[in-house]
């Protein structure tokens, strides 16, 4: 009996699993080839070194990780974290009111605001950043107007500094902050807000005690989606910072290009990935859902 | 409730597509090193005749802003060969692209001096068959048999030039003669320099009287101190279009390629050009055929065509670099020939220095640069 039922149950199991396998395996293969394998390679070469003609030598060493504790690099990491943090904070301050207004508008206005938010993305972000350069430059729009009005005599230095980099980051990444906040505000249960008012909470108190805690998951999701790219968007710091405000992304990009030092670049990337993982972990620990980050 | 989940999902779809768009633009940034006009955009120009014309095909991989469309069209008209042009914006991009692609994707490439040597050592270049290049005789012999490719086994000069200083004499009153003055504290926040670590560190080494390829630790320690002095003076690092910062008045002193300086001067006569007394950073870009090229015959035909005086003249008219083709220079107007900024004088070349691959010592330069741009 037992010997006869075994193949039957196996066949059954295959029959039950086949649809699942056919549906899932292409995606799995895709993810393995395009994400897992490259990442494994990055991890592998981060323990290698290079020879005189810049080829990667596969000999285990941790020298690339030891080099990470160089004070210059640590200060660049610090600077990157600062710029990413500031960008994140400003995105919240701008994005939260925007999302609130959008969520409380009529469907028509909502669509319109969404269009204003998304339309610029149909243009390459590099081109839009070049646009900012001509607005902020010494002879740019802002300085010309201010000088014309006699408010300033010397042009203000608006470009090629930390301020410009943060502005560029906020500009490029703002939609990532607005959209998650917008979804949680939409889902907000209005009866709770009414209850708070009925119980005598003034608008400010109601906002800080009820609305903000209920929408904090959106803020956190948005923050992760702004903070992480802001650490690595080297083209923003190149264009807006004038190449003199380097982020860790710039150092990584240079290792893979001019410096021919892929192993060191890989080690720098691994640290960046670790920072990302820690943040995402903190997010899920505090009750955030991976779905809200756009993960499958 | 259900409706809300649906909006939620729809929003997430929007977010996901946003991420894709952003990632796409990031990739463009990678390819072009931050330029909007370059990157690995391919298939730019295809010659007029095209279609079923028999001549076959040719894939050219060349620097952005270096090969006029008119030259490509003329080649196609004369030979019936369809030309596909792709662009890169640094030697390292070229090397990375060639190494990571299948053999035979490109036929003709245009690496600079040190990159010719590196690519030849990697076995990426095909030996040139000189018999099929009769126009070789148009080249000025002083540009032949270079140290990076003895006997021109793998390469022939295309265009060259120097990195030099330009300043706005309405703002900078004291004449500038060399690198030395770029370190002067009175020029705080007023320089635009190439975003190129070899050029800037090399210039600093030269200001101290050292080679721009120095790997000596004691010399590099001095260079490091000197770079700290340069730092407050540099407002902007830009390799793509440093002339823009000069023309817009953003900066009053520039350190950039000679053709950029020539264009500055064409636009506005308040710009003074300087060949630094300490000697220049030289570059020479070269035509080479890649190993395993599918259209080897056509590639040689193309190189021979570029070496024709008339064709070479067309290129110089559009991009005023130093032209190593003496027959072409003879055809060019006085405005080119008598302008030292485009037609760089022989004594400047003699005094200049090419960049060399530093091998493992490139790490030292990278560390200096990380410190400088922090």
Closest approach of A11 to chain B, Cα-based (Å): 37
B290 & B311 share domain: yes
Range of the domain at B136: 57-158+285-340
Distance from CA of A131 to the nearest CA of B (A): 12
For B26-44, write each residue's pLDDT tens digit: 544 444 333 333 333 334 4
Q: B220-234 burial, b for 16+ CB within 10 Å, e for fewer?
A: beebbebbeebeebb
More confident call, B37 vs B250: B250
User: pLDDT band for position B83 (50/70/90)?
Assistant: very high
Report which listed range, A114-118, B1-5, B324-328, is most confident.
B324-328
State residue A290's pLDDT score.
Answer: 74
With cut-offs at 50, 70 and 90, classify the pLDDT of residue A226.
very high
In 3D space, the residue among B79, B92, B227 whose CA is nearest the CA of residue A54 turns out to be: B92
pLDDT computed for residue A19 by the predictor:
84
| A46: nearest Cα among A252, A269, A275 | A269
pLDDT at A134 over 50: yes
The gap from C-alpha B190 to its chain's centroid, in whole angstroms, comes to: 24
pLDDT at B328: 96
Q: Judge whether B61 lies within some domain.
A: yes
User: What one-character DSSP code corresponds to residue B139?
Assistant: B
pLDDT in tens, B109-139: 999 999 999 999 999 999 999 999 999 999 9
Query: What would the two tokens of residue A90 be?
Result: 């400003």
Classify residue B189 by its DSSP letter: T
Total tally of structural domains belonging to chain B:
2
Are B238 and A172 within 8 A, CB to CB? no
Least confident of A281-290, B33-42, B191-200: B33-42
Nearest CB to A238; choose among B34, B189, B360: B34
Query: What is the structure's pLDDT at B98?
Result: 93
Q: Which neighbouring-strand residues pair with B156?
A: B287
Give how far Cα A10 sits from Cα of A18, B90, B118, Å: 12, 59, 59
The pLDDT of residue A285 is 85
**ipTM of this predicted complex?**
0.81
Query: What does the alpha-carbon distance between residue B277 and residue B273 come to, in Å, rounded to a whole number?
Result: 12
In a domain, B49, yes or no: no
One domain, residues B180 and B311: no
Q: Which of A72, A73, A235 sits opposite B34 (nearest CB)?
A: A235
Q: Give the pLDDT of residue A44.
A: 95
Shared domain check, B294 and B258: no
Which residues lie below 8 Å from residue B32, measured CB to CB, with a gap of 6+? B38, B39, B40, B64, B89
Task: Write down the pLDDT at residue B36.
Answer: 32
Concatenated DSSP letters for B157-185? EEEEEEEEEEEETTT--SPP-SGGGGG-G
Q: What is the structure's pLDDT at B9?
A: 60
pLDDT digits (tens, 9 = 90+) for A63-97: 999 999 999 999 999 999 999 999 999 999 999 99
B25 in a structural domain: no
Of A75, A157, A244, the CB nearest to B234: A244
Say if the Cβ atoms of B374 and A183 lie within 8 Å: no
Q: Which of B323, B373, B344, B338 is nearest to B164 (CA)?
A: B344
Q: Which residue from B25, B237, B369 is facing A126, i.e. has the nearest CB?
A: B25
- Other beta carbons within 10 angstroms of residue A37's beta carbon come to 11
For chain A, domain boundaries: 1-45, 64-293
Q: How confident is the model at residue B19 (pLDDT cuts 50, 70, 90)?
A: low
Nearest chain B CA: its distance from A101 CA (Å): 17
Show the 3-state SS of B56-107: CEEEEEEECCCCCHHHHHHHHHHHCCEEEEEEECCHHHHHHHHHHCCCCCCC
Instruction: Report the SS3 class of residue B52.
Output: coil
Average pLDDT over residues A105-134: 91
One domain, residues B306 and B266: no
Q: What is the CATH number of the domain that holds B168?
A: 3.40.190.10
Q: Residue B13 falls within a domain, yes or no?
A: no
Query: Contacts of residue A179 in chain B, CB cutoff 8 Å?
Result: 11, 14-15, 18
Q: Are the beta carbons of B342 and B322 closer than 8 angstroms?
A: yes
Do residues B236 and B364 share a domain? yes
Q: Which of A54, A141, A168, A188 would best serve as a mutation to test chain B binding (most B beta carbons within 10 A)?
A: A54
Terminal CA-to-CA distance of chain A, rounded, Å?
44
Asked if A247 and A233 touch (Cβ cutoff 8 Å), the reply is yes
Q: Is the pLDDT assigned to residue A27 strictly greater than 90?
A: no
Closest chain B residue to the Cα of A240, Cα to Cα: B236
* Cβ–Cβ below 8 Å for B236 and A242: yes
What is the rounded CA–CA span in Å between residue A122 and residue B321? Answer: 37
> In terms of Cα–Cα distance, which of B243, B270, B275 is closest to B341?
B275
Q: What is the reported pLDDT for B41?
A: 37
> Across-strand partners of B159?
B285
Minimum distance, in Å, between the CA of residue B249 and any CA atom of chain A: 7
CB contact under 8 A, A260 and B250: no
Which pLDDT value is given to residue B54?
59
Contact A53 B373 (CB under 8 A): no
What is the overall mean pLDDT for chain B?
A: 87
Nearest-angstrom CA–CA distance, B214 and B211: 5
Same-domain pairing of B147 and B166: no
Answer yes or no: are the C-beta atoms of A225 and A54 closer than 8 Å. Answer: no
Strands B191-193 and B234-237: parallel
Strand partners, B284: B160
Record: contact B12-A291, CB cut-off 8 A: yes
* % of chain B surpassing 70 pLDDT: 86
Q: Is B215 in the same domain as B321?
A: no
Contacts with A257 from chain B: Cβ below 8 Å: 33, 90, 92-93, 96
Do the Cβ atoms of A126 and B36 come within 8 Å?
Answer: yes
Q: What is the dihedral of CA A264, A265, A266, A270, to 10 degrees?
A: 100
B312 is a domain residue? yes
Please determine, for residue A199, whether its predicted confidence score (pLDDT) is greater than 50.
Answer: yes
3-state SS assignment for residue B358: coil
The fold for domain A64-293 equals MetI-like fold (1.10.3720)
pLDDT confidence of A45, banded at 50, 70, 90? very high
Residue B93, judged by CB atoms within 10 A of its CB (0-12, 13-18, 19+), counts as: buried
pLDDT of residue B51: 41
Residues in chain B: 374
User: pLDDT tens digits, residue range B347-361?
Assistant: 999 999 999 989 889
**Does residue B276 sit in the same domain as residue B171?**
yes
Which chain A residue shows the shortest CA-CA distance from B248? Answer: A139
Pair (B175, B276) in one structural domain: yes
Lowest mean pLDDT among A30-34, A106-110, B2-6, B52-56: B2-6
**Average pLDDT of span A123-145:** 90
pLDDT of residue B306: 97
Same domain, B172 and B312: no
- Pair B364, B256 in one domain: yes
pTM of the model: 0.81
Domain annotation covers residue B127 = yes
Answer whether residue B264 is part of any domain. Answer: yes
Cβ-based burial of A194 (10 A; exposed 0-12, middle 13-18, buried ≥19): exposed
How many Å lie between the alpha carbon of B29 and the closest alpha carbon of chain A? 6
Domain check: are B272 and B327 in the same one? Answer: no
Instruction: Provide the pLDDT for residue A155.
Output: 85
Residue B8 in domain: no
Work out whether strand B281-290 and strand B353-354 pair parallel, antiparallel, or are unpaired: parallel
Residue of chain B whose Cα is closest to the Cα of A156: B250
Among the partner residues B15, B198, B370, nearest to A251 by beta-carbon distance:
B370
pLDDT at B6: 56
d(CA B75, CA B64): 19
Using alpha carbons, list the distances in angstroms from residue B77 to B74, B287, B312: 5, 21, 17
What gap in Å lies between CA B306 and CA B295, rounded to an integer? 16
Mutate to test the interface with A, among B24, B234, B374 (most CBs of A within 10 A): B374
How many whole angstroms from its chain centre is CA B303? 19
């Amino acid at each position: 009996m037992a010997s006869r039922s075994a193949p039957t149950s196996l066949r059954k199991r295959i029959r039950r699993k086949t649809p699942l396998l056919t549906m899932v395996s292409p995606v799995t293969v895709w993810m393995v080839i395009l994400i897992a394998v490259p990442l494994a390679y990055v991890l592998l070469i981060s323990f290698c070194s290079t020879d005189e003609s810049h080829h990667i030598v596969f000999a285990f060493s941790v020298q690339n990780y030891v080099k990470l504790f160089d004070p210059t690099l640590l200060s660049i990491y610090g600077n990157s974290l600062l710029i990413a943090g500031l960008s994140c904070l400003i995105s919240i301050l701008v994005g939260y009111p925007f999302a609130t207004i959008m969520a409380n508008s009529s469907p028509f206005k909502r669509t319109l605001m969404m269009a204003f938010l998304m339309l610029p993305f149909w243009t390459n972000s590099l081109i839009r950043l070049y646009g900012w350069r001509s607005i902020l430059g010494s002879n740019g729009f802002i300085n010309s107007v201010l000088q014309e009005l006699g408010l300033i005599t010397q042009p203000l230095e608006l470009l090629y500094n930390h301020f410009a980099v943060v502005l560029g980051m906020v500009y490029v990444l703002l939609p990532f902050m607005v959209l998650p906040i917008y979804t949680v505000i939409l889902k907000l249960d209005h009866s709770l807000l009414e209850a708070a008012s009925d119980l005598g909470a003034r608008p400010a108190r109601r906002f800080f005690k009820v609305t903000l805690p209920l929408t904090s998951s959106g803020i956190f999701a948005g923050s992760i989606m702004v903070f992480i790219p802001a650490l690595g968007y080297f083209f923003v710091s190149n264009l807006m910072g004038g190449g003199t405000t380097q982020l860790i992304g710039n150092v990584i990009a240079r290792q893979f290009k001019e410096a021919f030092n892929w192993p060191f670049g890989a080690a720098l990337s691994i640290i960046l990935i670790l920072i990302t993982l820690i943040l995402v972990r903190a997010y899920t620990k505090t009750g955030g859902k991976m779905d809200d980050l756009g993960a499958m | 409730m259900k409706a809300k989940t649906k909006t939620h999902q729809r929003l997430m779809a929007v977010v996901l597509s946003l991420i894709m768009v952003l990632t796409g633009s990031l990739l463009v940034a990678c390819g072009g090193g931050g330029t909007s006009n370059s990157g690995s955009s391919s298939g730019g120009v295809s010659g007029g005749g095209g279609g079923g014309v028999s001549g076959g095909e040719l894939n050219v991989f060349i620097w952005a802003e270096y090969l006029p469309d008119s030259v490509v069209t003329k080649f196609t008209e004369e030979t019936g060969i369809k030309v596909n042009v792709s662009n890169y914006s640094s030697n390292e991009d070229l090397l990375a692209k060639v190494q990571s692609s299948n053999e035979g994707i490109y036929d003709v490439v245009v690496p600079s001096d040190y990159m010719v040597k590196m690519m030849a050592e990697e076995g990426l270049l095909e030996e040139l068959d000189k018999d099929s290049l009769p126009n070789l005789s148009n080249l000025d012999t002083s540009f032949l048999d270079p140290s990076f490719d003895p006997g021109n086994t793998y390469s022939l000069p295309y265009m060259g030039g120097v990195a030099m200083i330009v300043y706005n004499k309405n703002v900078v009153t004291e004449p500038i003669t060399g690198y030395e003055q770029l370190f002067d504290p009175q020029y705080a926040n007023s320089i635009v320099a190439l975003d190129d670590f070899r050029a800037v560190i090399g210039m600093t080494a030269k200001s101290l009287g050292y080679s721009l390829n120095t790997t000596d630790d004691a010399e590099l320690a001095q260079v490091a101190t000197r770079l700290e002095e340069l730092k407050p003076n540099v407002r902007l690092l830009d390799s793509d279009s440093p002339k823009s910062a000069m023309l817009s008045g953003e900066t009053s002193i520039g350190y950039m390629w000679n053709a950029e300086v020539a264009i500055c001067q064409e636009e506005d006569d308040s710009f003074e050009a300087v060949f630094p007394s300490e000697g220049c950073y030289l570059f020479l870009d070269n035509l080479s055929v890649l190993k395993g090229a599918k259209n080897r015959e056509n590639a040689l035909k193309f190189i021979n065509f570029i070496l024709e005086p008339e064709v070479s003249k067309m290129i110089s008219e559009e991009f005023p670099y130093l032209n190593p083709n003496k027959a072409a220079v003879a055809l060019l107007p006085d405005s080119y020939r008598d302008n030292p900024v485009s037609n760089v004088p022989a004594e400047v070349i003699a005094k200049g220095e090419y960049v060399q691959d530093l091998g493992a010592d490139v790490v030292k330069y990278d560390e200096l640069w990380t410190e400088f741009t922090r």
